[in-house]
Structure formats: structure tokens, C-alpha cells
Structure 1
Amino acid sequence: MSSYYVPRGGHPGQAELTTDRAVFTTAYAVLPRGTMRDIVTSSLPHWEGTRLWVIARPLSGFAETFSQYVVEVSPGGGSSRPDDDPAAEAVLFVVDGEVTVTLEGHQHRLAPGGYAYLAAGAAWTLRNEGGEPARFHWIRKAYEPVDGIERPASFVTHEGDVAAEEMPGTNGSWTTQRFVDPSDVRHDMHVNIVTFEPGGVIPFPETHVMEHGLYVLEGKAVYLLNRDWVEVEAGDFMWLRAFCPQACYAGGPGRFRYLLYKDVNRHPRLGRALP
């Protein structure tokens, strides 16, 4: 059975230590779960009864291709006009409570583990019709259309309906749940769930063109970020710049899981010489 870390805000007492594991560098950043307090929440236009933690946004020297929020919607809250950017595609992943997403006129009830891909320009709304707060991740990216390539359609699913694919040679200790076929070039981003059983590793420093956002859903591990081994746990967020070396060792005692964003299937944008 899956479990997901859920931030609940609050505020630390005056007697607590100021020192934490927060790190911000030109190659990577770590936002520990303790940074997600009441004082750093944000609001959005046309959303009622809602607050959110913005954990990534396009910024020079930080996330370049995406934004990511952890959203908390009170009973009765939500939005009939959630996103006015017609170029923004999105993924919603529910971690607590239930929300009703109306997508192109069809209602979908999303409980923990519920996943929705919202194509750029899709008509959608979201409401919390239950009696308890609901919390979900919202990842946004500007869709990059390609001439001659059909745009992807929106869809709704649940992580329990998506098979965990074993990474080669790992005997099941490292698996990935892929919500989109990697060979489907209509999609320019993937948002997957990666799981390591105790003792599972990324056995080499991955260095590649994809930018990453990793939110730890469950467990703990030590993660290589550039040249630094960093301890991370459920509720922590990591941003990795393109080509930042990364590796992982999941020592247990339980499994280690994270929600992974990466940009895919497009030419890197090129600078243009002055005329």
C-alpha cells in the first residue's frame, strides 16, 4: 500500500534550532520539508479556500522549464478558473483527501494516488467537495508544440493502475511507474514515480540533459547532488539542473519513493546570433 508525505504547515517554536538541511546552489537545491511552514504559503487568483507552497518556478539559476506547487484546498474550496495560461500543460497528483476534477465536461473523483494529465488549453475545474482538506501536487510546463506532431490528450488515472517497470539488472530493487509511454514524442514532459527498495541504488552518477524536480513521497535515502551526498526524507524537494550528476542509495528501513519531473523529447532551444 502506498503512503505519501503530506505537508501541514504550522510554525516552529522559538526554542527550535535555526539550522536545517536547506541548500541552494547553481547546480541543485534541497528544500527540506521543514521549510514548508505557514509563513511561506502563497495564494492564486480565482482560487477560493486554497493555499500552496511554490517549491519550483522558472528563475535564472533555478528551475528553467517548470513550476511545481503543493496545494492545500479546504472543504468547499477550489477554482472554476484554475489557470489562465493557455500554453500551460499540467500534472495533478493527489496525496491527501479527495478532489473533484471536471475535465472537458466529465467529472473525476481523485483520491490519494490519483493522477491527471491536463493538456495545454484543456478546460478543467477543481473542487474539494469533502469535509476534510485535500492536498495535491501541481506541476506546470509551457507545452512545446512541434509541426506535424499531434498534441497529447488529457487523461486521468491512478498510480495503482500503472505497472512498476523494473530497471535492467536491478532484480526489482529500482522501479519506475511511467504514466506516459517514453516513446510518445507528443509529450514534452514526464512525471513519474520512482521507487527504491532498501539497498537499491542508482549505481553511477547520471549526467544528462533533463532538468529534474524530485519530491520525496515516502522513506529516506542519501542522494548524490553534483559532488555532495545529501540525506533526504519524505517531504523534501530536490531540484537538479540539467547535467547535474546524481546517484542514490536507499538504505532503508522502508522503501524510498519520489515524484519525478523531467523535460523530454524536444530539441534544446538555441541562442540566436545578432544580425
Structure 2
Amino acid sequence: MFNSLTHPASPATRTCNHRHRWPLNRWFRRLSYLLLASITAISISLGSVSPAQAWSWRNILRGGVQVMQGIQLTSMSDSQEMEIGADINQNLMKTEFSRFNNNQVQSYVNAVGQRLVPHNNRPGLTYIFQVVDSDEINAFATMGGYVYVTKGLLALADNEAELAGVIGHEIGHIEGKHLLQQIRSTSIQRGVLTAAGLDRSTIAQLGVELALRRPHSRQDEHDADQRGLRIMGSANYGQIAMATFMQKLANMGGSSPAFLSTHPSSSSRVVDIERSIDPNRRYGDGLDANAYRQQTLAVR
């Protein structure tokens, strides 16, 4: 089966699917109810089922349609996703983190992130980059354009291109809608779907839980690596920096940073990144260590 992350549909296909999704769903429901009604009527007339059993069949069918509709989380609009991202952000900043109180560092990280934004494939989102006041080495993204980087990770990076590689990777998770897919899978496992899918507050609660404590799959990590590598290269950052930073994390061994608890790392990931580097973009902007250190002195 082809995966939508690794084999994205063409723009024409996406437009077609969007145009016909709801008519097809209505057609499916009507046909299903018509078929069930016909079978039920025949069964009742033959005495093989009672009217009570027929009603039970109708409920089973409605349940099947309910699951089908609830799975459609990844089809929510960009504006809906940004609203939920804002809810998740509010929750995180109240209960889990505090914003690093240094406007110069915040502005610098935001500038790096905004340089990458035009090169991602979700232009309908407004991206927000924040530095978290934590010495842990960590970075993560939620949904709707929210990306978080700890001051501990800023201190570990040796240059701006390494930071750009991390941020590009997180943008890759948003671009690939990885958290939304995790929410969909988790909601199915927990049986919390309703006829309309999931309500906003439930999605936000699951988003907080999954973003902080549930590791991404290796497939999602590989996908985010490839997307981030493309994004940073298109922004003229030296792609080699993503590999050097990932290798640095892998070499930490017993002192593995928090980043690796939600971003599984292995030597094979570094090899894959190295193989995917465009020779023409291997070296580029952002490799000056001294310039980077001047911008991040406040976190050291």
C-alpha cells in the first residue's frame, strides 16, 4: 500500500479528492442504508430476523460510518489546525514550560525559522517559533505551525545551520501532519471517536500528550529528516549540518538528551541523511561557529 507521506498526491489529485470527498461520503451512506433497508425488509418478510434485530443492524451500520468519518482528522482545514495548535500552546505554556525570557534569542530563533518557512509545502499555516527555558536538549512541534526549541539545544548546536536543520526537521513533522496521524491512531485505539470525529478539546489534549511523551515512528522520523533536509537546502543552509548535529546526539550515549526520547535516533539515520545530501548544497550558509555563538551567548 502506498503511503501518503512518502508518495504525496499531485496537486491535481488533491484538488479532485477535496472536491468529491463529501459527495462520495454521502453517496456511500445512502447506498449503504438503501442496501441495508432492502436486506432487512427481505429478512423480516422471510421471518429470518425480527424488527428488533433489524434495528440493531442499523446501529452497526451507523457505527461503521461513524468510524469512517472520525478517521478524517487529517482533512481539517489549516485554520482549524492553527486554532487547535494555539490551544495546545496555551496548555503547554501553562503547565509544562515557560518561555525563555530573552527577546534577542527569541528573535534570532524566529528569524532562522521564518527563513525556512517559505520553502515548506504548507504555505497556509502561520509558523510560530519559541525558545523554551529548559536546559534539556530538546525540540518538538505540535500542529498548526508551532515549533519549540529549548535553550539547552541552542547551547549544544555549533552553528546556525545545525539549528536550521533541527527546526527544518520539526517543520517537516508539521508538513507531513505526523502528529495528526498519531492523534487519529490513538483516538481509534481508545475508542473516543464520535460521529463528527473528535471535538477540539479532545484533539488538543491528545496533542499535548503525544507531542511530549510519545516517540515518533521511525518512518515519521525518516520522513521529517528528508523534508527538513530539503527545506534547509532550499533556504541555502549547508545540509551537512543536519548530519553533524544528529551524529553529535547519537554520540552522547548514556547521557542521551530528551530529544532522543521523542525522536528515535540511530546511526542508520545519520547514514540516510548523508546519502540524501545534495552535493551542491552540502556546504552553504550558517556554518560560522563564531557568528552563531555571538547570537546565543545568553543561553550558555
Q: Which TM-score band applies after superposition, normalised by the shorter structure?
A: under 0.3
State which structure, 1 or 2, has the greater radius of gyration over its C-alpha atoms: 2
Richer in strand (by share): 1
Query: Greater helix share, 1 or 2?
Result: 2
* TM-score normalised by L of structure 1: 0.25
- TM-score (ref. length: structure 2): 0.23
